Amino acid sequence: MNTHECIIIGSGPAGYTAAIYAARYGRKPLLFSGLLQGGQLTQTTDVDNYPGFPNGIQGEDLVQNMLAQALLFGTEVKHQMIVSVDTTDRPFKLTASDDAVYYAESVIIATGATAKYLGVTNEQKYLGMGVSACATCDGYFYRNKEVIVVGGGDTALEEAIFLANLASKVHLLVRKDHFRASAIIQDHLKGYSNVEIHYNTELEEVLGNDQFVEAAVVRDNVNNTISIMPIDGIFIAIGHTPNTEVFQSILEVDDIGYIKTIPGSTYTNVPGIFACGDVQDTKYRQAITAAGSGCMAAIDTERFLNNRAIKNGFYCVEVDSNGITVNQ
Ligand code: NDP
């Protein structure tokens, strides 16, 4: 049986950072990149807020640099998905999308989350050209401009507040006649006179030229009337789906499906399996925070691998009642 000390699943900033660190620890990590190599960053254009790039960098270039750095230190990359993880025995057994089976003493999950989109006409065409799912990433480009935010949950209201501090005007499109967001964020929103709330209103279509968004077709779903709103940018904030389908039967996840980690660490409830990046982050969801937690996962993994005990002829770990490795 060919057992890897560390298998990493996912190829965004979290996965690649974990790989760089694990490779530099000499663990020869095997990283499964999945089909969309590079994750969410490949869907964006300019990244201006990643430290170290004062002139900005294209999202695609940033992840290609991370990949090159991971390869440089000895990471092996396979362009496959992991379709199942069996934790009943150690080492863990992982099956890839080409049916190949791999064994791992530790697994770092960095499969990210996927922003939900509406599926309306031209939404994907203008992604990175006026349509975005991240105000923190792209809001800066809309200073003194007029934007739409779609959604009525906490994320949408937070995005609207963030944008209200930059944009001249924010139109918040809410499909119902009320918000889903918590009362405290709703209260906070009331302080922004440049946010106009459009209840019972849905985005129907994105309009633009060859390069950028110019307008939105919106529908009042009570009167069933359509209007065209000239606009500079559109932020879709209707939630994210963590990419955890494969792990939900083996790991503890929250109501939405995000992997639960022990606060301040990347430990999951299964010793030897770690989670980092957006797959366990409902709060920050930034490339730099994902990279930071990828580093944490590699450090946690290294400590775990160093602390293994040999029992009954094969590696296992000793854990306390909280699932934390204790055999220092
Ligand atoms: P939510 O699922 O809570 O809200 C999604 C919003 O988008 C809802 O208003 C929903 O409308 C709307 N929506 C969904 N699909 C469509 C559609 N097709 N067209 C128009 N509108 C649509 O997602 P969030 O990302 O806001 O929040 C996820 C979780 O993260 C929540 O638990 C939230 O509390 C938490 N969170 C907490 C924050 C904080 O505490 N600071 C910040 C951000 C998130 P409808 O209501 O009609 O279903």
- The alpha carbon of residue 174 and the mean position of all alpha carbons in its chain are separated, in whole angstroms, by 24
The pLDDT value recorded for residue 315 is 52
Distance CA 19, CA 12 (A): 11
Domains and CATH numbers, the chain: 3-114+240-316 (3.50.50.60), 131-236 (3.50.50.60)
User: pLDDT of 233-271, one tens digit each?
Assistant: 999 999 999 999 999 999 999 999 999 999 999 999 999
d(CA 298, CA 87): 20
From the CB of 188, is ligand 1 less than 6 Å away?
Answer: no
Residues in the chain: 328
| Spacing, Cα 155 to ligand 1 middle (Å) | 6
What phi and psi values does residue 37 have, to the nearest 5 degrees? -65, 130
CA distances from 216 to 65, 163, 194, 201, 245 (A): 36, 18, 19, 12, 34
H or E stretch covering 193 = none
Say if ligand 1 is within 6 A of residue 152 CB. yes
Q: What is the pLDDT of residues 98-130, one digit of tens each?
A: 999 999 999 999 999 999 999 999 999 999 999
**Cβ 12 vs Cβ 39: under 8 Å:** yes
Q: What is the pLDDT of residue 137?
A: 85
Residue 232 CB–ligand 1 contact under 6 Å: no
**Atom 15 in ligand 1: residue holding the nearest Cα:** 238
Q: What secondary structure does DSSP assign to 248-271, as a single string?
A: TTTS-B-SSSPBP--TTS-B-SST
Strands of 3-4's sheet, edge to edge? Answer: 3-4, 101-104, 92-96, 82-86
Instruction: Let me know if 210 is a catalytic residue.
Output: no
Catalytic residue among 6, 138, 154, 278: 138
294 touches ligand 1 (CB under 6 Å) = no
Catalytic one among 48, 89, 99, 134? 134
Instruction: Evaluate if residue 165 carries a pLDDT over 60.
Output: yes
Residue 35 has pLDDT above 50, yes or no: yes
Strands (E), 87-137: 92-96, 101-104, 107-109, 113-115, 131-132
Report the mean per-residue pLDDT for the chain. 92
What does the DSSP 8-state code read for residue 293? H
- 137 a catalytic residue: yes
d(C-alpha 165, C-alpha 192), whole Å: 9
Q: How far apart are CA 110 and CA 82, in angstroms?
A: 12
Q: Please state the pTM of the whole predicted model.
A: 0.79
In this prediction, residue 64 carries a pLDDT of: 95
Å from CA of 229 to ligand 1 middle? 23
Residue 119 alpha carbon, nearest atom of ligand 1: 18
Strand partners, 225: 220
Active site residue 316: no
Q: Confirm or reject: Cβ of 238 under 6 Å from ligand 1.
A: yes
Ligand 1 geometric centre to CA of 154 (Å):
6
Q: Tens of pLDDT along 51-102? A: 999 999 988 899 999 999 999 999 999 999 999 999 999 999 999 999 999 9
pLDDT for res 310: 55
Ligand 1 mutation pick, 148, 149, 154, max ligand atoms within 8 A of CB: 154
Tell me which of 114, 123, 155 to substitute to probe ligand 1's pocket, judged by most ligand atoms within 8 Å of the beta carbon.
155
Tokens describing residue 40: 């969410």
3-class DSSP state of 82 = strand
Ligand 1 center–CA 238 separation, angstroms:
5
For the segment 299-305, the average pLDDT, to the nearest whole number, is 95
Candidates 6, 61, 137, 276; catalytic one: 137
pLDDT, position 320: 60
CA of 150 to the centre of ligand 1 (A): 10
**Residues 285-300: b if buried by 16+ CB within 10 A, e if exposed:** bbbebbbbbbbbbbbb
